[in-house]
Amino acid sequence: METVIKTHELTKRYGDFIAANAISLEVYKGEIFGFLGANGAGKTTAMRMLCGLSTPSSGSAEIAGYDIYRQTEQVKKNIGYMSQKFSLYEDLTVMENIRFFGGIYGLGSKDIRLKGQALIKQLGLESEEKKLVGSLPLGWKQKLAFSVAILHSPKIVFLDEPTGGVDPLTRRQFWDLIYEAADRGITIFVTTHYMDEAEYCGRLSIMVDGNVKALDTPSALKEQYHATSMDDVFYELARGAKRSE
Amino acid sequence: MINNQFLVFVKKEFAHVLRDRKTLLVLFGLPVMQILIFGFALTNEVKNASIVVLDQAKDHQSQRLIGRIGASRYFDIEGAVDDEEAIEQNLRSGKVKMALVIPSGFSYDLAHRNKAGLRIIADASDPNTANTLSNYLSSIIMDEQAELNANVPVPYTIIPEMRMLYNPQLKGVHNFVPGVMALVLMLVCVMMTAISIVREKETGTMEILLVSPFKPLLVILSKAVPYLLLSLVNVGTILLLSVFVLDLPVNGSILLLLAESTMFIITCLSIGLFISVKAQSQQTAMLISLMGMMLPTILFSGFMFPIENMPKPLQAITNIVPSRWYYIIVKSIMIKGLGFQAIWKETAILAGMAVFLTLVSLKNFKIRLE
Amino acid sequence: MMEAIVLDHITKTYGKEKIPAVNDVSLTVKSGELFGLIGPDGAGKTSIFRMLTTLLLPDKGSASVNGHDIVRDYRQIRNTVGYMPGKFSLYQDLSVEENLKFFATVFGTTVEKNYDLIREIYVQIEPFRKRRAGKLSGGMKQKLALCCALIHQPEVLFLDEPTTGVDPVSRKEFWEMLQRIKKKNITIMVSTPYMDEASQCDRIALIQHGNILSVETPSAVIRAYPQQLYAIRSEDIYKLMKSLRSNPLVDSCHSFGEYLHITLSEQGMRAEAALLAGLAAEGHGNVVLKEIIPGIEDCFIRLLKN
C-alpha cells in the first residue's frame, strides 16, 4: 500500500508547552483517516504542521512524498484543505469561486470549466451557478467547499470539522462525497466531533494532551476498550485529559 | 439595590479599562506625547535665522550690537539695508524672518540720556518662529545692556520696540495646548465610550444584560464614570506639562478650567454614547469616532486653522463642532485669564449639545436586539 | 402553573426580502419540563430563543413565558428567566469569581443567597476562580456561563446550543448538570444540533428551516417511525452503499457509523431474504443484516426527506 502521510515523532513546542508530542503515524492512499481529540488536545496544531502551515519543533514528516521542512511548496500543491470556518468567498458566485480556487492551483481555464461543470452537475447546483455563495444554505456551502478543495485532484485532502452544525441528512450527503473521493484514490484526513462519523473512517487516531493515545480501526478500538460505540471509546480515553483549550 | 448594581457595574468597567494594558498606555501616553510633540516641534529652537539690519546710527555702539548679533548662533546677518522699504521687501519675499532698526543717535542717546530705543520687525505669519526669534534677539540686547552696565553708576536701558508684521496678535502661539486638550478628551471620551458599549454588543454580553432587570440608563451611566475620571487625569497631566515643561501658566482659575473640562467631557461622552447606539461593530464605532470627531476637531476648532480665514459655509460648520467651543473656553481661561462671565455662552452651547445627544441616544437605545 | 412557555403561531422574518427564520411555530412547554429544540444551524432555534427572552419581536403570533406576554410584559420576563446565548457571552477579562458576582448583582441578588443552586457546578470551576474567563477551556466556560445564568434562581432557563463545539466528555457532563437543575423545578428550554442529545430531554421539537417537524417525547418520536429499520454492513461499505442505492428493494439508505441504515420497500422476511440473496450474487462478502430500533437521527432524516 502506498503511504501518503508519514510522520516520525513530530513535535511542536510553544515555550515549555508541548502542543503536539512525538506524533508518529502513517496514512495510506485512498484511506479515510479520522483524527480525533478533545478541544485543546493538539489536533489543530498537528494538522497545521502536516499542511505546511507551521514548522515543527522536531521530528520529521513526509506528505505525498515531500518533506514538510524543505518542500512546503510541493506539499501545498498536492493537498487540499477545508475547514468549518473558512470555506469559500461568500460574495462571489458559485462559478467564480470555482474559477478562483482552480486558478490558484494552476488549473488551465479549459480544465476549470470542464471540472467546474462536472462538479456543479454532481452537486445538483445547476440553477444556483450564478448565485452568490453567501445565499446558499450551510449544507450546500460545505459540500461545494469540499468539491472545490479536491478540484485540483490532490493526493490528500485535510478536513477540519467539515460537518459542524449541518443537518443529519446533509451530513450524510457530505460523507457520500467523501467516500466517492476516497474511492477515486484521494486520501481523506478528517477531524470531527460527531462520533458516528468516526465510525465511517477506515482507521482513526485519538489525541489526548498532545499525544496520540490510540490508533486503529474503529472496530479494533471498540474491542480493545470493551466499548459498544466510539463514543464510549472516546470518553474512556479523553476522560483522563489534563488539559483543554 | 440600584446603587449597589451601579457600583458593581462601575467596578467592572474599571476592570475592563485597567486590565487592557496596551490601551491604557495609549490613553495615558497620548496626551504626554502630543503635548511634547506639539510643544517642541512648534517652538523648536531656531538656528541661523536670516536677519537684515537698518543701521541709521552707524556709530560704535550700533556696530558693537550688530557684531554681537552676528556672532550669535541664532542669527545670520543677511546684510545691511538703507531704508524701511527694503526691509519690507526682504520680509515679504521671505528672504529674512526679522529686521532690526537702529535709529540714528543710538550711542548719543545711550551716553546722554542713558536710554535708547530699537525697533524689531518680525514676520509673524509664522507666529511661533516670530515669537521665538524676538525672544532671542531681546535676550541678546539684554546681554549687551548688562555688559554696558557693568562699570557705570547710572544704568543704561535699551528699549526694543517689537512690531509683528502680518499677524499682530501672534495667533497660534501656545494655541496648541488648548487644542491638544480638546483633541485628547475627544479621543478618550468619544472613541472609548463608543467602543466599550459596542464591544458588549459584539461579544454578546449585551444580550445577557438586556435579558436582565438592569436599566439601560445604568449601563450607560456606569460606562461614563471611568472615562470621565480617566479624562480628568489626562486634563491634569496636560496642565502639569504645560505649566512645568512648556512654561505656559494657567492665567485664570484652575477650578473653573476643570469644571469647564468636565462639561466638555460630558458632551464628548454623550457623543460616544450616540455613536454606540448607532454602530454595530467596534470597527464602525472607531471609524465614526475618528472621521466624525477627530478630523473636525483638528480642522474646524480653530486650533490648526484660524476660523476667520475660512469660507463662510465652513465657518458655519465649525459651530456644530463641540471642540470649537471648548477651545475658546480653554484659551479664555488659560491664556487670557478670563472668568466665567466671558465664557458662559460657550458653556451653554456645550451643555445644550450634551443634553440633546443624551436624549436622542436614550430614545434610540434599543431594549431589544433590533 | 402548568404551561411555562407558550408559542402561538409565531413567525419571524428578517431583512427586506422577509426571509422567514421561524415559520408559524406553535408549541407549549410544561412547567418543570426539560424541553429540547433539535435542529441544524439555521433552523430558527436562536430566533425562537431571542423572541422568548424578549430580545426580538415576532412578526406575527404571540408567545408567553410563565404567563407573561413576550412583548407587553418584557420587564417581568427579564426578571424571571435565565439565558445563556449561543456564543460564550461573559466578560473575558473578568475572573470567574468577578463574572459570577457581577451577574448576581445585575439581577439584584448575591452569590451567597443562591449558592445552593449552583454549588454542584461551581465547585468544579472553583479551583480556577481567580482565572480570567477568557483563559478557561470550552467546557469550563460553559459551566461558568451556566452558573451565571442560574445565579438569580430563574423560573425558566433558556440555553441556546450550550454544547456546540464542546468535546463529547464535557457534553456528557453538561447534560448531567441539566438533569440535576431540572430536579430543582426549573423549566429548561435547550437547543442542540446533536441528535444524540435528544434522548436526554422530556420532550423535543424537531425543527428545520423555521418549521416544526414534530413535537413529542423522544420515545414517541421513535415509535412514530413507520417502517422497520435495518442496519447492514459488509467488508466494503462504500461498494455496499452504491449497490443498495440502486436496488429497487431498498427504500432508503444512509450511512450510520459502521453500518448503513436502510428501509425496504416491502416488509417481511421475504424481502430481507431477497435482498441478501441479491447482495450475495453481486459478490458482497460478510454481509450482516439486522433489525434495529431507530434513533432520533433516523427519525429526523426521515422527516427531512418528506
Residue A63 located in a structural domain = no
In chain A, which residues have their Cβ closer than 8 Å to the Cβ of C140?
Answer: 244
Q: What is the pLDDT of residue B42?
A: 60
B79: Cβ contacts below 8 Å, ≥ 6 apart: B52, B53
Burial class (CB in 10 A: 0-12, 13-18, 19+), C59: middle
C278-293: pLDDT as tens digits: 999 999 988 999 999 9
Chains in touch with B (≥3 Cβ pairs < 8 A): C
Residue where a domain terminates, one of C182, C199, C223: C223
Whether A104 and A112 have beta carbons less than 8 Å apart is answered as no
Whether A141 and A86 have beta carbons less than 8 Å apart is answered as no
Q: Looking at CA atoms only, how far is residue A13 from chain C in angstroms?
A: 19
Q: Looking at CA atoms only, how far is residue B191 from chain C in angstroms?
A: 20
B12:C98 CB<8 A:
yes
Q: What is the pLDDT of residue C205?
A: 95
Regions of chain A where pLDDT drops below 70: 85-86, 242-245
Q: Looking at CA atoms only, how far is residue B217 from chain C in angstroms?
A: 13
Whether C21 and C13 have beta carbons less than 8 Å apart is answered as yes
Highest CATH level, class, for B49-165: alpha beta
Mutation target vs C (from B207, B223, B369; most C CBs, 10 A cutoff): B207
Helix axes B216-244, B344-364, angle to 10 degrees: 150
Q: What is the pLDDT of residue A44?
A: 84
Task: Count Cβ atoms below 10 Å from residue C295 Cβ, excluding itself.
Answer: 21
Whether B141 and B102 have beta carbons less than 8 Å apart is answered as no
Q: Domain range holding A128? A: 88-153
Task: Count Cβ atoms below 10 Å from residue C277 Cβ, excluding itself.
Answer: 10
Q: Please, how many CA atoms are within 13 Å of residue B241, restricted to the half-sphere of its CB?
A: 25
Question: Which amino acid belongs to residue A17?
Answer: F
In chain B, which residues have their Cβ closer than 8 Å to the Cβ of C54?
Answer: 210-211, 368
Q: Looking at CA atoms only, how far is residue B95 from chain C in angstroms?
A: 60
Q: Which of residues 11-70 of C touch B (CB under 8 A)?
A: 50, 53-57
In chain A, which residues have their Cβ closer than 8 Å to the Cβ of C254?
Answer: 169, 172
Q: Which of residues 93-122 of C touch A (CB under 8 A)?
A: none
Q: Which of B66, B46, B64 is nearest to B54 (CA)?
A: B66
Residue A191 located in a structural domain = no
Tell me the CATH number at C100: 3.40.50.300
Which of C40, C196, C301 is facing A166, going by the closest CB pair? Answer: C40
Q: What is the pLDDT of residue B21?
A: 86
Rounded Cα gap, residues B137 and B100, in angstroms:
9
B205: cell is: 454580553
Residues C280 and C156 both lie in one domain: no
Tell me the CATH number at C261: 3.30.70
Helix then strand then coil, % of chain C, to nearest 5 = 40, 30, 35
C255:A175 CB<8 A:
yes
CA dist list (Å): B341 to B181, B250, B262, C211: 22, 17, 18, 68
C84: Cβ contacts below 8 Å, ≥ 6 apart: C145, C146, C148, C149, C157, C158, C159, C160, C162
In total, how many domains does chain A have?
Answer: 1
B337-366: pLDDT as tens digits: 888 998 999 999 999 999 999 889 888 887
| Interface B-C: count of C-beta contacts within 8 A | 78
C72: Cβ contacts below 8 Å, ≥ 6 apart: none
Residue A69 located in a structural domain = no
B8:C78 CB<8 A:
no
Task: Give me the interface pTM, i.e. the ipTM.
Answer: 0.77
- In this complex, does chain C touch chain A, defined as having at least 3 beta-carbon pairs under 8 Å apart? yes
Q: What is the pLDDT of residue C194?
A: 85
Which of A182, A218, A239 is facing C258, going by the closest CB pair? Answer: A218
- Measured at the alpha carbon of residue A228, what is the angle toward residues A224 and A231, in degrees to the nearest 5? 90
Helix axes C115-125, C168-183, angle to 10 degrees: 160
B213:C79 CB<8 A:
yes
Residue A226 located in a structural domain = no
Q: Where are the alpha helices (DSSP H) in chain B?
A: 2-19, 21-42, 60-71, 84-92, 106-113, 127-148, 176-185, 192-203, 205-210, 216-244, 254-278, 282-289, 295-300, 312-318, 322-330, 344-364
Whether A73 and A54 have beta carbons less than 8 Å apart is answered as no
Question: Which amino acid belongs to residue C301?
Answer: I
Residue-level pLDDT, tens digit, chain C, 306 residues: 579 999 999 999 988 778 889 999 999 999 999 999 998 888 899 999 999 999 999 999 999 999 999 999 999 999 899 999 988 788 999 999 999 999 998 888 899 998 988 998 899 889 999 999 988 877 888 899 999 999 999 999 999 999 887 777 788 888 999 999 999 999 999 998 888 899 999 999 999 889 999 999 999 999 999 999 999 999 888 889 999 999 999 999 998 888 899 999 988 888 899 999 999 999 998 899 999 999 999 999 998 887
User: Where along chain B do its domains lie?
Assistant: 2-41+174-364, 49-165
Strand order in the sheet with C288-292: C250-256, C259-264, C229-233, C288-292
Question: Which amino acid belongs to residue A235?
Answer: Y
B221: cell is: 451611566
Whether C64 and C72 have beta carbons less than 8 Å apart is answered as no
Q: What is the pLDDT of residue B45?
A: 56
Render B8-75 in DSSP notation, one character per residue: HHHHHHHHHHHH-HHHHHHHHHHHHHHHHHHHHHHSPPP-SEEEEEEESS-SHHHHHHHHHHHHSTTE
Q: Looking at CA atoms only, how far is residue B292 from chain C in angstroms?
A: 28
Rounded Cα gap, residues B200 and B213, in angstroms:
17
- In this complex, does chain C touch chain B, defined as having at least 3 beta-carbon pairs under 8 Å apart? yes
Q: Looking at CA atoms only, how far is residue C193 from chain A in angstroms?
A: 6
Residue A106 located in a structural domain = yes
Residues C240 and C171 both lie in one domain: no
Q: Write down the residue that cell numbers 461498494 correspond to.
A: C239
Render C40-55 in DSSP notation, one character per residue: -TTSSHHHHHHHHTTS
Q: Write down the residue that cell numbers 430563574 correspond to.
A: C154
B209:C54 CB<8 A:
no
Q: Which of B223, B229, B173 is nearest to B194 (CA)?
A: B223
In chain B, which residues have their Cβ closer than 8 Å to the Cβ of C189?
Answer: none
B213:C75 CB<8 A:
yes
B211:C92 CB<8 A:
no
Question: Which residue in chain B has the smallest CA separation from C53?
Answer: B211
Residue where a domain terminates, one of C192, C223, C254: C223
Residues C207 and C248 both lie in one domain: no
Q: Looking at CA atoms only, how far is residue B290 from chain C in angstroms?
A: 26
C70: Cβ contacts below 8 Å, ≥ 6 apart: C51, C52, C54, C58, C62, C63, C64, C77
Q: What is the pLDDT of residue A60?
A: 92
Render B210-223 in DSSP notation, one character per residue: HTSS--HHHHHHHH
Residues C35 and C166 both lie in one domain: yes
Residues C204 and C166 both lie in one domain: yes
CA dist list (Å): A161 to A21, A90, A146, A165, B174: 22, 19, 12, 10, 62
B20:C93 CB<8 A:
yes
C297:A168 CB<8 A:
yes
Chains in touch with A (≥3 Cβ pairs < 8 A): C
Which of C75, C89, C93 is facing B16, going by the closest CB pair? Answer: C93
C256:A196 CB<8 A:
yes
B208:C89 CB<8 A:
yes
Q: Which of C174, C135, C134, C132 is nearest to C157 (CA)?
A: C174
Question: Which residue in chain C has the smallest CA separation from B19?
Answer: C93
Q: With helix as H, strand as E and coil as C, how does C218-261 read?
A: HHHHHHCCCCCEEEEECCCHHHHHHHHHCCCCEEEEEEECCEEE
**Three-class SS state of A45:** helix
In chain C, which residues have their Cβ closer than 8 Å to the Cβ of B204?
Answer: 85, 87-89
Mutation target vs B (from C53, C55, C164; most B CBs, 10 A cutoff): C55
In total, how many domains does chain C have?
Answer: 2
Whether B164 and B170 have beta carbons less than 8 Å apart is answered as yes
Question: Which amino acid belongs to residue B283?
Answer: Q
Q: What is the pLDDT of residue B1?
A: 47
CA dist list (Å): B31 to B231, B259, B296, B332: 10, 19, 18, 21
Regions of chain B where pLDDT drops below 50: 1
Q: Domain range holding C25? A: 3-223
Q: Which of residues 199-228 of B touch C (CB under 8 A)?
A: 203-205, 207-214
A167:C140 CB<8 A:
no
Alpha carbon of residue C99 to chain centroid: 26
Q: Assess C257–A contact: CB distance below 8 Å, yes or no.
A: yes
Residue where a domain terminates, one of C188, C223, C258: C223
Q: Looking at CA atoms only, how far is residue C77 from chain B in angstroms?
A: 8
Which of B15, B205, B212 is facing C98, going by the closest CB pair? Answer: B15
Residues C135 and C238 both lie in one domain: no
- Measured at the alpha carbon of residue C82, what is the angle toward residues C80 and C87, in degrees to the nearest 5? 150
